[in-house]
Amino acid sequence: MEREAANVLGVILAGGLSRRMGGGDKALATLAGRPVLAHVIDRLAPQVGRLAINANGDAGRWAAFGLPVIGDTMEGRPGPLAGLLAAMEWASVNMPYAEWVASAPCDSPFLPRDLVRRLRGAARAGQAAIAASAGRRHPVAGLFHMDLRPALAGFLADGGRRAGEWSEWIGARVVEFGAAPVDPFFNVNTPEELAAAEGLRVD
């Protein structure tokens, strides 16, 4: 872990319903002999001071990973932004020295190993930064200053749900990552994408 990462809480957002995977937890699907979530943890954990999982329902199904599990504090599973807000609320109590929350989807097993460092370089100028690759923005892969917590709570209270709209509203900086030979934000959302991921290897 880099020294400046000590005040960053990392949160892996696993609160979705995995409809395209056929239900269940797509983060627990097996990729290269291990759960997809294990690959995400391997890549994100060294980049942050502490790491947690945002998930709803029985927290016991995540016990093998040995990480705090943070449930949404808003009812109805309103999406990944609710997980980000829950992580900020958790950090305010359990990691009061945290200045940033780095979020990542649970289904991106090839995340860049320099994701947080590069996002932080951009976020310093505007309190938030999100990743992009191959001409697409990935607003769930982002770094957000804790000072944004009241604004996020207000956005959600007003009915806001889309992470892309939130990132534009707060003026998040966009950091482009290379997509060759493999897009580091490749998502495992379907059985077909899981099969495709088996043939991909990223350093």
| pLDDT tens profile 5-45 | 899 999 999 976 544 444 568 899 999 999 999 999 999 99
Mean pLDDT score, 142-162: 96
| pLDDT(197) > 70 | yes
| pLDDT tens profile 158-171 | 999 999 999 999 99
Average pLDDT of the chain to the nearest whole number:
92
In the prediction, which pLDDT does 185 show? 97
Say if 73 falls within a structural domain.
yes
**Bridge partners (DSSP) listed for residue 130:** 142, 174
Mean pLDDT score, 80-103: 97
How is residue 94 written in tokens? 């359990």
Say if 150 falls within a structural domain.
yes
Which domain range does residue 39 map to?
3-198
Say if 182 falls within a structural domain.
yes
Say if 118 falls within a structural domain.
yes
In the prediction, which pLDDT does 3 show? 67
CATH number at residue 64: 3.90.550.10
In the prediction, which pLDDT does 2 show? 63
Say if 203 falls within a structural domain.
no
Say if 149 falls within a structural domain.
yes
In the prediction, which pLDDT does 74 show? 87
d(CA 17, CA 12): 15
Which uninterrupted H or E stretch holds 43? helix 36-44
Say if 95 falls within a structural domain.
yes
Mean pLDDT score, 119-136: 94
For residue 115, the number of C-alpha atoms closer than 13 Å in the C-beta half-sphere is 35
In the prediction, which pLDDT does 148 show? 97
In the prediction, which pLDDT does 1 show? 58
d(CA 161, CA 156): 6
Cβ–Cβ under 8 Å, residues 173 and 129: yes
2: nearest Cα among 42, 39, 43, 47: 47
Say if 183 falls within a structural domain.
yes
Q: Higher pLDDT residue, 95 or 2?
A: 95
